[in-house]
Amino acid sequence: MNRIDAAFKNKPIFMPYFPLGYPDLETSIDVIEALAKHGADLIEVGLSFSDPLADGSVIQKATQVALEKGITVRKSLEAVKELRRRGVEIPLVLMGYYNPMLAYGLEKFVGDARDAGADGFIVPDLPIEESAEMISALTSYPKGSAVEAQTADENRPSTTLHSAHDGGLPLIQMLAPTTPGERMEMIARNTKGFIYLVSVTGVTGERTSISEGLGALIQRVRQHTSVPVCVGFGISTPEQAQEVCRMADGAIVGTTCVKRIGGSEKPVETAKQLAAEFRAALKEPRP
C-alpha cells in the first residue's frame, strides 16, 4: 500500500501546506517535521516560485522570502530526503509550479523527487489537457533509480509503505466551483491519489466562513470518482476544518499555517500546537 492510500484509511485527514525555505531552510525542515509528527496526516510541501499565480499575499510573501534566502528545487528535494532520514513517514506531496520543474529537467525532477521520498505532485498552472509530458515522466522508471531497486526487492515486506510507484506517482488534480460539468467529470474520472477541491474562486487566503455551496459541489465531484476529496482555499480554523470534513475526506490548510508559524518567535513549537489543534478537531466523532 502506498503512503497516500494509507493516510486516507483514517479519514478525515489534516493536510497542512508549508513552503521549504521559509523563514529559512533549516527552520522549514524542522517545522514540516513537527507538523508531521504532531498531527498532520499528509503534508503539501511548497516549492517556491517567483510567480505563484494561485497564491494569496501571505504565501506569496513567504515564498519570496524563501527565494531571497536561496531556496532552489535541488535544495528542496534534498530537504525532502532529510525529512525521510528524520523518520517522517506520512505522505509528502510537492506543490509547485511547472516552470521550475521544466527548467530542472522534467524526467530528472520526477526521478529525483521520487528517490527523495515524494509521494505525488500538485501543479496549479498545469491543466490536465497539457499534462501529457508530466504524466509520461511520472509513469516511467529511470533505470537504476531507488524505486526500481526497491520494487525489484522480492524480500521487501508487502506491508511496507512506499511512494505510489504502482503506475507512477500521482499528479493530483484540482477542481473549482467554476469547473464546467463535462470537464469536472473528465478530470474526476482520471484522477489518482485524491481530488484537490478549491472551495472558492480566487487565490489562497483566509476566509471567515465556508462557502454555502460547498456541500453540493462535493456531491457533484463524488458522482464521478471514488478517490478521496479534500478541500482547500480559505480554511482558517479547526472549527472550519471540522465543518468541511463533515462533507469531505480532508481539509487543506495553507495560509493559516504559513501566517501563524512564520510569524511566531518559536515556529517549531507553534507548528506542533497548530497540528495538534487541527488533528483534535478532525478526529472527533462525526455527528
At 208, is the secondary structure helix, strand, or coil? coil
The pLDDT > 90 percentage for the chain reads 76
> Which positions are catalytic?
44, 55
Calpha distance 197→194 (Å, rounded): 9
Terminal-residue alpha carbon distance, the chain:
30
Residue type at position 17: Y
Looking at the predicted structure, is the pLDDT value of residue 44 above 50?
Answer: yes
- Residues 14-42: pLDDT tens digits? 999 999 999 999 999 999 999 999 999 99
Which ranges constitute the DSSP H helices of 69-125? 73-85, 98-104, 106-116
For residue 15, how far is the Cα from the chain centroid? 7
Are the beta carbons of 20 and 46 closer than 8 angstroms? yes
Per-residue pLDDT, 285: 63
Cell digits for 81? Answer: 530526503
Are the beta carbons of 113 and 85 closer than 8 angstroms? no
- Region 137-143: mean pLDDT is 70
Q: Which residue has the higher pLDDT, 259 or 145?
A: 259
Interacting residues of 132 by C-beta distance below 8 A, sequence separation 6+: none
**Alpha-carbon separation of residue 81 from 26, 87, 115 (angstroms):** 13, 10, 8
Are the beta carbons of 248 and 229 closer than 8 angstroms? yes
Nearest alpha-carbon partner for 170 in 90, 93, 79, 225: 93
Beta bridge partners, 19, equal: 46
Summary mean pLDDT of the chain: 87
Beta bridge partners, 122, equal: 95, 172
Per-residue pLDDT, 54: 66
Q: Phi, psi (5° rounding) for residue 26?
A: -60, -45
- Residues 174-218: pLDDT tens digits? 999 999 999 999 999 989 999 999 976 444 444 445 667 899 999
- Kindly list the structural domains of the chain, giving each domain's residue range(s) and its CATH number in brackets, ordered by start: 3-282 (3.20.20.70)
Looking at the predicted structure, is the pLDDT value of residue 280 above 60?
Answer: yes
CA 221, 274, 27, 49: dihedral to nearest 10 degrees? 30
Per-residue pLDDT, 158: 37
